[in-house]
Amino acid sequence: MASLLEKVGTLVRANLHALIDQALKANSVAVLDEYIRQAENNLEELEDAAATVGGSVKTLERKYKEYQAKADKLDRDIDVLLQQGKEELAVAAQSKLNSTRRLAEEYREQWERQKREYQALLDAKLKLEAKLTAIKQEREELQALLELAKSKELTAETIKSLDDLVGIGDQDISRVAESIRARLDKASARSEMMASRLDAQMDEVLERHEIEQQLEERKRRLGLVQDE
């Protein structure tokens, strides 16, 4: 029983702030989960032990009262026997009374000890339950805080990545845009050159056609070409 109370005492004395600090450093509530597991196991043992000791307290109390009642009756019987002059019976009754009183006292002492132990178990149970409740509440709050912290860290990392991406993207887009503009400028220049060349060719063709018409007319005047 002492070992159980020592284990419970260790859990009750556990520093809540230290446990939370460990959880924060590890970025995990595992240390609190382990405490909760141990506390719940010891709480079950405490409840079983308290139930056993509580039953023993009731038994010892009943035995003490039974022997105390017997002692009270013997005490009255002795008075009657002495009044009746029955000395030998009174001696026997007194001897039995002494024995009964010793047994009653032993039961009373055991009863008192068990009552103290039972009360100690109940007190330890209440303290451990209170500590367990506090740890569970802190665990939930800490879990929420850790999840929030992770979320904020992820958000910050995402923003940083986006910042990097935006910078890189701007440069890439600028290079691509500049390349496209260069290609467009080159294509435009080539188109202009081709259009100019085409214009020249057209002008050349049109001028030759006009000259040929002029020469044909001249041949007709000269009679070098007969009209059809």
Q: Express each pLDDT in 29-65 by its tens digit.
A: 888 898 899 889 989 999 999 999 999 999 999 999 9
Nearest residue to 46 (alpha-carbon basis) of 132, 111, 118: 118
Nearest residue to 97 (alpha-carbon basis) of 133, 70, 79, 117: 70
Rg, Å, the chain Cα set: 56
Structural domain of residue 64, as residue ranges? 2-155
Residue 170 in domain: no
Buried b (16+ CB within 10 A) or exposed e, 141-169: ebeeebeeeeeeeeeeeeeeeeeeeeeee
Reported as half-sphere exposure (CB side, CA atoms, 13 A), residue 16 has a value of 13
Nearest residue to 16 (alpha-carbon basis) of 38, 31, 37: 31
| pLDDT at site 104 | 96
Residue 171 in domain: no
| pLDDT at site 176 | 64
Percentage of the chain modeled with pLDDT above 90: 38
Residue 147 in domain: yes
Domain count, the chain: 1
pLDDT band at 209 (very low <50, low <70, confident <90, very high): low
Percentage of the chain modeled with pLDDT above 70: 78
pTM equals 0.59
Residue 187 in domain: no
Residue 206 in domain: no
Nearest residue to 131 (alpha-carbon basis) of 42, 209, 63, 3: 42
Instruction: Give φ, ψ of 209 to 5 degrees.
Output: -60, -40
Assess whether pLDDT exceeds 70 at residue 72: yes
Mean pLDDT of 125-151: 86
Distance CA 144, CA 221 (A): 110
Residue 110 in domain: yes
Residue 195 in domain: no
Residue 215 in domain: no
Run of H or E residues at 171: helix 87-222
